[in-house]
Amino acid sequence: MSLFRDYFDLQIFLATILLVIIGLVSIYSSTIQMQPAIFYKQLTWAIIGLILLLIFLFVPIKALQQISWWIYFPSLLLLVAVLIFGKRVYGSMSWFGFAGIGIQPSEIAKVTTFIALSAFLSKVDVSMKSLKDLLTASAIALAPVVLIILQPDFGTALTFVGTFIFILYWSNASQLLILALISPAIIAIASLIGTTAFIISLIIVGLILFISQENRLLTSFLFAINILVGFFVQSFYLRMPLYQQKRIATFLDPGNDPLGAGYNVIQAKVAIGSGGLFGKGFMQGTQTQLNFIPKQWTDFIFCVFGEEFGFVGASLVLILFAVLLFRGLALTTKCKNVFGSYLALAFTSLFAIHIFINIGMSMGLIPVIGIPLPFLSYGGSALCSYMIIAGILMNVYANRKQY
């Protein structure tokens, strides 16, 4: 029994399986009366995903490292091909369609990109202090981002960038570089919110730059860039047509357009709030059963379970995600294999970004971006990629003591 526990991460496995079951229950409740085929498709994908999890659990970790480039470049070719031959869904050329089955190459690229990046960073002679290595790592991580933006799918692209920033931090890259990637985006958003938010965020960025130990000339240059970004965004926003300004204002605050772009978020908040402590019961949620939230089985799946099983049900989902994330972080620090450590960090970060953004937008805490909730949201490609990642994390656990 102790041998089993030493090589099989039961916590990751159980958390994954329970989350998939919760996803299937939520999808069943929200689709069975209108589009029952959706549930049965997801059930099929869940079975396929379980098989993939077991396959990647037993693939030798060194073999995964050796084939990293052989799976990375074909995934880039798929991203190019989908721009030419793909099917347009919700305004994005992100899918291949075969006999009613949709395949999303960007989900495959999430797995292959960070396997390849982990393989590169785990080389003995690679250092993020080297400009050449830094540029190579950036090219590996950002090549799929460019192709995904062309679809366009900004939500998925954001998950790649966010994960790459975590990896940069872990690999001892310059803090100034990380701040240079993050701060302009923060300043741009703050400048759209208002002058006060812009000034406060600028002060915070300035203080961080001041207390950093980086080159003062470079930090001053970066601070000046942030000021220019803020003024440019504000100036550009004021010159936009009114309807475009309204779209951005609604993106930042859904309450500005409660019957239009902000409708889903408002209804999702109502659904979660109306669930109370124990929820309304399975298939008894009014927001869910009356379809107040269009296609809620995709990005707003959290509000389905939250309404029907209440605070207790929503807390269970969060606890299971917390188990997954803490186990992943533990692997990052305990794994003696550098490649395995980077894999654990990359995929744990990817999960964390998905969870934070999806649940945050469902509760109205952050703007709607369009990112699925791991294991719960409908989508075969996404579910299979998450199951593969869970299998890889379990694989890293099994080999954590090997160099």
List phi, psi (to 5°) of 313: -65, -45
Cis peptide before 152 (omega within 30 of 0): yes
Q: Please give the full DSSP string across 293-315, using - where no structure is assigned.
A: STTTTSTTHHHHHHHHHHHHHHH
CA 358 to chain CA mean position, Å: 8
pLDDT along the chain (403 residues), means of 10: 75 96 92 86 94 93 92 94 81 73 88 95 86 88 89 84 89 78 79 78 82 73 83 76 63 60 68 78 74 74 86 93 95 90 95 92 76 90 94 92 78
Report the pLDDT value the prediction gives residue 70, as an integer from 0 to 100: 94
| Residue 204: predicted pLDDT | 85
Which pLDDT does position 107 carry in this prediction? Answer: 92
pLDDT of residue 396: 93
CA angle 127, 401, 388 (to 5 degrees): 80
Name all contacts of 134-142 with Cβ < 8 Å and 24+ positions apart. Answer: 134/173, 134/177, 137/167, 137/168, 137/171, 138/164, 140/72, 140/113, 140/116, 141/113, 141/114, 141/117, 141/167
Q: What is the pLDDT of residues 83-136, one digit of tens each?
A: 888 787 766 778 787 766 778 899 999 999 999 999 999 998 888 888 788 889
Q: What is the per-residue pLDDT for 328?
A: 94
Alpha carbon 397 to its chain centroid, in Å, reads 22
CA dist., res. 72 & res. 103, Å (int): 17
Residue 40: how many CB atoms within 10 A of its CB?
13
**What pLDDT is recorded for position 255?**
59
Task: Report residue 155 as tokens.
Answer: 């939500």
Compute the Cα dihedral for 321, 282, 43, 360 and give only its sign.
negative
Predicted TM-score (pTM) of the model is: 0.87
**Residue 346, pLDDT score:** 95
Among 342, 293, 285, 335, residue whose Cα is nearest residue 64: 342
pLDDT of residue 256: 59
**Nearest-angstrom CA–CA distance, 155 and 268:** 19
Tell me the two tokens of residue 117.
Answer: 């990046």
Please report the pLDDT score of residue 247 as a whole number. 59
Query: What pLDDT was estimated at residue 241?
Result: 67
Helices (H), 32-130: 36-58, 61-66, 68-85, 105-121
